[in-house]
Structures are given as C-alpha cells and as structure tokens.
A = this chain, B = another copy of it.
C-alpha cells in the first residue's frame, strides 16, 4: 500500500487528488497536512485510508515527528500561498509560505534521512514576461519572473535542483498552468463567473451583468482532474530533478469562457470591466507545451473545455439550488 503525505491538503487540488486515488484499483494511505481543516469528507473514500493533521509547516519540530511516524513514500507538496495578487501586498509572507516551508520540509527530511519521492509544484508564472514568439512555452525556456510569488516559485525550483544534485534527494518538479474545475474557490475567476451566472439563471434572469478584470488575456486552462492525474503519474514515473509543464497546450480567453458558459445557461451577459480587478504586467497570452509529459509519461488530456465548463456549472447549480 502506497503512503502519501499531502501538504496543502485542504485545498481544491488536494480534494481532487484524493478523488483520483479513490478511483484507483489500489489501496493507498494518505496523511493530509494543512493549516485549515478540509471541508470535504476525507474519511469516506473506499480505497484510501486517510488521516488529517492540522499544522503549520513552518513548525519543523512537529513536522519532524509526523514524518518520523508516518514514513511517507511520496510527498505531494501542494502547500503554497499561491496568489500573485496577494504576493504584491505581502511579499515576505508569500516568500515564507512558498520557498521557506518547502526548504524547511527538505531539511527535516534530510535530518531524518527519510527520502520519499517529492513532487514540488511550480507555476507557469515562473516564465514571467513572455515574448510571443516563444509560445508554446517549453520547459527549457528562460524564466523571467515578474511578481514576488513567481520569484518564490523559481527559488523553490532552483533549490529543489540543488537538493537533487547535492544531496541526492528525489524531487520532481512541475510548472503548472491555470487550473479550474468543480469545487474551486470563488476567488478564482472562472469559478466566480460560473457562480454568478448560475445564480442569475436560478433566479430566472434572462440577462445579467458580470464584473470582470481583463478578459482578453489568453491562458492555458486545464481541468483539475487532468492536473491530479499528471501529479500521480509524475510521482510514479517522473524523472528525478526534471521539470514538467502541466498544461493543456491550448489557449483560451476568459471572454470566450464567459460566452461559452452563458450560452450553455442560455443567459445573456453584459460584461463590465472593473479596473480594480486589473493586474499590472499581465502577459496577453500564455500557452504551454505539454509535449514532455505526454512523451515521457503517456499523460493526455481527458477533460476538454466543454466538459469542464459543464461540470463547473453543474457544481454551482447543485450548491446554489
């Protein structure tokens, strides 16, 4: 039976990773760690023996005891302060809760001489300012991070490589692009748009307004269920020290997504740009190449955009009815 520690367990991706393990033919044992209690029922999975412990990963003495007791074979390190926006407001917090929690985890493992496979989650934000001729972005593209969050992610990646080459640790790295799907918190754009449209629909509106930031920007959106499959495969068969883009390979604008959802709901939408929601320095287009992960791990996209949007709208309909 495989033993996983999942940090940042209580978030959106943690829940979907557990769903994935639950659908698997094999039994697994999971210990979830997070600052916050999960809002999902992690005890109910047929094939997963799951426990949860509420901790701050910066408390290395607690983490040390946990690891010594549980002896994980895999660590899926999802814990992160992943908001670019907030990283501009509190750069030090962003840095501590990205690089420093990771570094502290690695040092605890090194001290204990316990060496599980670790998946370190990075971000497409690491590419930073992009020249359009470089699209789609491949893993050996240069990194020009333009926010405190992105710098923290690059530092985490570089540090991982040092721990692989200098200390022989078994770390695989991702640069994960925007993901979405049912259950995502509504402070993410698509989830919040979906919720608003479904709300309006349910109250019988034929037409509604929607306040947005810049919706012309094109992003590489990926269904969270494809993301967790990638993470599972990377933990199984990824190459130590290697970085993998986790992305759909396709670009779509937020505007197109809004129009698609409105069409599905048969509601007219009047988009109102709110300047407070605009972010500075945003790249107009970000699209990644997923050639490497497809070629090396046989991963492929199972959820197309229409499927994902249907599921997100259904999720909100169930929640809001």
A interface vs B, CB < 8 Å? Answer: 88, 91-92, 95, 99-100, 103-104, 106-107, 142, 145-148, 150-152, 154-155, 158-159, 162, 165-166, 280-281
Contacts and interface: CB of A to CB of B under 8 A. Distances in A.
B147 A281 contact: no
Contacts of A150: 162
Given A95-B100, A142-B142, A147 B159 contact: no
A159 B148 contact: yes
Contacts of A142: 142
A238 to B, nearest CB: 20
A88 B166 contact: yes
A175 to B, nearest CB: 15
Given A150-B162, A152-B155, 9 more contacts: A91-B159, A92-B100, A92-B104, A95-B99, A146-B166, A147-B166, A148-B162, A154-B155, A165-B281
Interface SS majority for chain A: helix
B155 A158 contact: yes
Contacts of A99: 95, 99, 155
A91 to B, nearest CB: 6
Nearest to A107: B92
A89 B215 CA distance: 48
A92 B103 contact: yes
Nearest to A160: B151
A107 B95 contact: no
Contacts of A162: 145-148, 150-151
Contacts of A159: 91, 95, 148, 151
Contacts of A281: 165-166
A281 B142 CA distance: 23
By CB atoms of chain B within 10 A, which of A103, A158, A165, A281 has the most?
A158
Contact of A151 (B91, B145, B155, B280): B155
| A-B pairs, 7 with minimum CB distance | A155-B155, A151-B158, A151-B159, A145-B158, A151-B162, A92-B107, A92-B103
11 contacts: A91-B106, A91-B159, A95-B100, A95-B103, A100-B100, A145-B162, A146-B162, A146-B166, A148-B166, A151-B158, A154-B155
